[in-house]
Amino acid sequence: MFDYARKIREYRERKFISQQELAKILGVSNVTVCRWETGRYEPDMETKKKLVALFNEIGMKLDD
């Protein structure tokens, strides 16, 4: 299973952006991003596609 919590946090740290900034990019609330990062929830399929595109833009490998 893909660890979205870890990857989302890693993405934000690499881009030096806050949860609120990522939430704005994805069109969700910052509470939602926080819940993803803590592993309480996972993004829906449409948001997962957006996240993968963002990860790919900065060369993040999905399999590490």
CA 26/CA 15 separation, integer angstroms: 15
The pTM of this model reads 0.88
- By CB neighbour count within 10 A (0-12 exposed, 13-18 middle, 19+ buried), where does 8 fall? buried
Taking the CA atoms of residue 59, residue 40, residue 25 and residue 11 in that order, the dihedral angle to the nearest 10 degrees is -20
| pLDDT tops 60 at residue 1 | no
Convert the pLDDT of each residue in 28-63 to its tens digit: 999 999 999 999 999 999 999 999 999 999 998 777
| pLDDT tops 80 at residue 27 | yes
